[in-house]
């Protein structure tokens, strides 16, 4: 069954899309945890980072470079946080790999 993010990629569910290219899509999180909170997802579904394989190396690199590009585009390029929740125990609720791009406020370390 298609995940929620596959439905967003297919435009079956609406989303506030801020960036798109051949490999990935970025859209605003529906429950933002910061003034800027965007999810960056590969169009090819990968369950999570632990499920990625060496053949995904180029795609994963592209996601990181694109995250920085999207952060710049949204005005938070100097200070942003990237977060990947891998597995339910780490807070993953949608099982389609995604990077949370958070910015526009200060962030504590260590994270909660
Ligand atoms: P995670 O918990 O890391 O799997 O992140 C899933 C994220 O998807 C959460 O931050 C949710 O707020 C977000 N989310 C759930 N449904 C939607 C939606 N329809 N559009 C945008 N973001 C969503």
What are the pLDDT digits (tens) for 11-21? 999 999 999 99
Residue 59: the pLDDT is 98
Which ligand 1 atom is the nearest neighbour of the CA of 27?
Answer: 21
Strand intervals (E) in the chain = 17-20, 24-28, 36-42, 80-83, 99-103
Stretches where the chain sits below pLDDT 70 are none
- Secondary-structure breakdown of the chain: helix, strand, coil percentages, each rounded to the nearest 5: 30, 20, 50
- Look up the CATH architecture of domain 4-103: 2-Layer Sandwich (3.30)
Establish whether 98 is a catalytic residue.
yes
Find out whether 27 and 5 touch, Cβ atoms under 8 Å: no
| Catalytic annotation, pick one of 37, 62, 96, 98 | 98
Model-level pTM greater than 0.85?
A: yes
Average pLDDT, the chain: 97
């Amino acid at each position: 069954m298609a995940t929620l993010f596959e439905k967003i990629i297919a435009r079956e569910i609406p989303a506030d899309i801020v960036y798109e290219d051949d490999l990935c899509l970025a859209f605003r999180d529906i429950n933002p945890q910061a003034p800027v909170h965007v999810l960056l997802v590969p169009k090819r579904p990968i369950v999570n980072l632990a499920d990625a394989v060496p053949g995904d190396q180029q795609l994963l690199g592209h996601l990181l470079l694109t995250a920085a590009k999207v952060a710049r585009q949204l005005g938070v390029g100097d200070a942003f946080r990237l977060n990947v929740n891998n597995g339910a125990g780490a807070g993953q609720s949608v099982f389609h790999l995604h990077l949370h791009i958070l910015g526009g406020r200060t962030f504590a370390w260590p994270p909660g």
